[in-house]
Amino acid sequence: MSDAVRPGVVRAAALAHKPAFWVILALLAAGGLRIAQITWRFLDAYPIATLTAVVLFALLAVPFWLFVSELDFLEREPASLRVLAFAWGGLVATTVSIPASTALDNLIAKLGSPALAADWGAALAGPTVEETVKTLGVVAIVLIARAQVNSVLDGVVYGALVGLGFQIVEDVVFAIGAVAQAGQGDQVQPVVTTLLVRGFLAGVWSHTLFGALAGAGIGYLVVNPDRTRRHRIGMAALALFGAWASHVLWNSPFFRDGLGNGALALLAVLLFKGLPPLLLTLYLVRRAHDAEAAYYVAKLATLRDPSLITPDELRVLGSGSRRAAARRHAGARAGRRARVAVRRLQRAQARLAVDLSRAPAQAHETEAASEVRAHRSRLESLGHPEAVEGVRSWRHTVSTAGTTAVAIAVIWVALSALGGG
Amino acid sequence: MGRVTRSQHTDLPGTLALPLALVIVLVLAGLTFGLPLLDRAVPAQRAVPAGESYEVGAGVTIVPPPGATLDVTGTRPGGTQGTALFQLSTRPDESPVRYAIAVQPFDGDLTAAAVRLRQRITGTSGHRLTGTQLAVSTAGGLAGVQGGYTAGGRGGRYAVFVAHGLTIEVTVSGDDRELARTLAAIDASTRTLRHEGRR
């Protein structure tokens, strides 16, 4: 989508001086109050089910959070802004979407027909309201911390986290709705079913994905000032449309009754509805990641200082799989401490790259440069001085195959249980 | 990368942060309050032909009471499930009685369906069951049970039927006096519930 990377720096204290920050904070507080009210009502009616839902979906959020946070290894977004993005999705976007989506669904029934609303209400009302509100969360981050949106990938990360926050709170609401609908009192079984359906089966291609797509558009809008405003807004609108269309397809009545019974039929429906946006987003993330990696690696290459980064480490740092391979290689060759040290070295090198892009002249004297040298000497003392890849080990191949088999088995069990196969 | 362009100098988010944040507030307020206001401004009631059966969903039909209107906000027909919401009023100054029918797949028996519906009713704040549960049947041969509940100053009736892998839940609620005036017509309507097979 874009090759642009525009590094900047945001000071936490400066945020407090921005009136826009307080406006966004007020919105978060209002959303938090509303969600607290809803949660309190749930706790009053179904305490065990509510606590179970909150804990299970919070646990489900952890791997998503870690994965999304790691997407931008080279220039990690500040934790405060990641939390803000998540909170916007979970508190503001949900608070707005509950009454607005219901109203839009009703309007579809009134201006069209109840049958139209039954078939297309969820497909049109939900995406229209939810994608708009979630995207505004990324815009809000741009308004208060413009310097932290430096690349399309940053937009992807913030958008995905807004989507994740929305998804988790929405899942809890749906779980308690299922408990109420079941009419069997304070039971956890409907919560577990909701976790299987909305967490495991629908979780991969749900709000996190749609949010990432729309966030990529906002990232492009912000980091390409050399393009015309019309072009940038057009690209952002196209990305938002992509998120909306993906959501519409997911909620659409197509194959609502499935392609027959059994796990394979359910899998086919999931793939038909979820795979196109997943592949599109993965492609965008890959391009944005590679563009950003190329930019920062080029910055580090100008140092020509092997104590900070060697030519082989430059090749490794730009790729997530190579970074992981270098850590594994260190672990296999010099033990767990070397593995940890390589990870720390890579992190420090990434921070150094960001420092370099902001103030090239002082890069050699920054804190990150000192950290790199400290981790380098630690690695030297462990007998593994360079963070490079090794030969792919059979142990890693077996481990990857085993993990994949377990994941497929879990999905298959869930599909079989739900698909009647 | 190093060139600073004119559009960079006039960085839109940086210079217009507060006005744009206020625009966000306006958009959110429009969605949160404006859309529901618009929804309320558009009438939800539709006339239903007197004496004709209405398909609720999954092949289940009912003949609405004379004078009832269909509330489209609570009506969602479907092939495997569905809901219909009718409103019935004998006097314009009284709030109408709500007469809702919900059909959904169900693999239990009538007792389980009744327990489920009763728990849902009592699970709603301020709602409690009254009287005893009685057997009820429809002209189409559906067998079910019915009972009553109260919610503050309002009264309510429920009935539940199980047939063909479906549960058909009927709930009626309204002001006590208006409910008393319309209940005979609603009971007569409930007895017209029929399963006509999947369409």
Chain B: closest CA distance from residue A407 (Å): 31
User: What are the residues whose beta carbons fall under 8 Å from the beta carbon of A274, sequence distance 6 or more?
Assistant: A202, A204, A205, A250
- Minimum-distance CB partner of B24 among A44, A136, A257: A136
Q: What is the pLDDT of residue B134?
A: 93
Cα nearest neighbour of B41 on chain A: A107
Boundaries of every domain in chain B? 6-41, 45-195
Q: Answer whether residue B9 shows pLDDT above 60.
A: no
Query: What percentage of chain A carries pLDDT values higher than 90?
Result: 66
pLDDT of residue A197: 84
The ipTM (two decimal places) reads 0.88
Q: Is A112's pLDDT higher than 90?
A: yes
CA-nearest residue of chain B to A295?
A: B1
Domain boundaries, chain A: 12-294, 302-396
pLDDT tens sequence across B142-176: 999 999 999 877 899 999 999 999 999 999 999 98
* pLDDT tier at B50, thresholds 50, 70, 90: confident
CATH class of the domain whose range is B45-195 = alpha beta
Confidence band (pLDDT; 50, 70, 90) for A225? confident
Q: How confident is the model over B99-113, as a mean pLDDT?
A: 95
Q: Which residue has the higher pLDDT, A193 or B92?
A: A193
pLDDT tier for residue A13 given thresholds of 50, 70 and 90: low
What is the pLDDT, as a whole number, of residue B36? 98
Name the nearest CA neighbour of B179 among B117, B102, B89. Answer: B89
Q: Is B23 on the interface with A (CB under 8 A)?
A: no
* pLDDT reading at B185 higher than 60: yes
Tens digit of each residue's pLDDT (9 = 90 or more) over A261-313: 666 777 788 888 888 888 998 999 999 999 999 999 999 999 889 999 999 99
Which one has a higher pLDDT value, A233 or A362? Answer: A233
Residue B7's pLDDT band (cuts 50, 70, 90): very low
| A110 touches B: beta carbon within 8 Å | yes
Cα nearest neighbour of B28 on chain A: A96
Is B143 strand, coil or helix? strand
pLDDT value at B67 more than 70: yes
**Which has the closest alpha carbon to B129: B110, B155, B100, B149?**
B149
The pLDDT score that the predictor gives to residue A260 is: 61
Return the pLDDT at A4.
58
Sort out which chain A residues have CB atoms less than 8 A from B1's CB and list them.
Answer: 5, 295
Q: Do A104 and B17 touch (CB under 8 A)?
A: no
Q: Give the model confidence (pLDDT) of A146-169 as tens digits.
A: 888 989 999 999 999 999 999 999
pLDDT at A27 over 80: yes
Residues 54-73 on B with a CB inside 8 Å of A are 70, 72-73
Residue A292 · residue A74 · CB < 8 Å: yes
Q: What is the pLDDT of residue B13?
A: 52
Q: Which amino acid is at B151?
A: A
**C-beta atoms surrounding B29 within 10 Å:** 11
C-alpha to C-alpha distance for A318 and A161, rounded to whole angstroms: 23
Stretch B123-139: mean pLDDT, rounded? 89
B8/A225 Cβ within 8 A: yes
Average pLDDT, chain B: 89
> What's the pLDDT at A204?
66
Judge whether A268 is closer than 8 Å to chain B, CB to CB. no
Min Cα separation B185/chain A (Å)? 24
Task: Give the percent of chain B with pLDDT over 90.
Answer: 73
Selection from A340, A338, A352 nearest residue A308 by Cα: A352
Is B44 part of the contact surface with chain A (CB cutoff 8 Å)? yes
Whether the Cβ atoms of residue B101 and residue B117 lie closer than 8 Å to each other: no
Q: Does A146 touch chain B (CB under 8 A)?
A: yes
How close B39 gets to chain A, by Cα (Å)? 5
Rounded to the nearest angstrom, the minimum Cα separation between A56 and chain B is 23
- Whether A182 and chain B come into contact, CB under 8 Å, resolves to yes
Residue A255: its pLDDT value, please? 76
Determine whether the interchain pair B76/A19 forms a contact, defined as Cβ–Cβ distance below 8 Å.
no
Q: Using 50, 70 and 90 to split pLDDT, how confident is the model at B3?
A: very low
Write the DSSP assignment of A11-70 as a string of letters. -HHHHTT-HHHHHHHHHHHHHHHHHHHHHHHHHHH-HHHHHHHHHHHHHHHHHHHHHHHH
Instruction: Please give the share of chain A, as a percent, with pLDDT higher than 70.
Output: 92
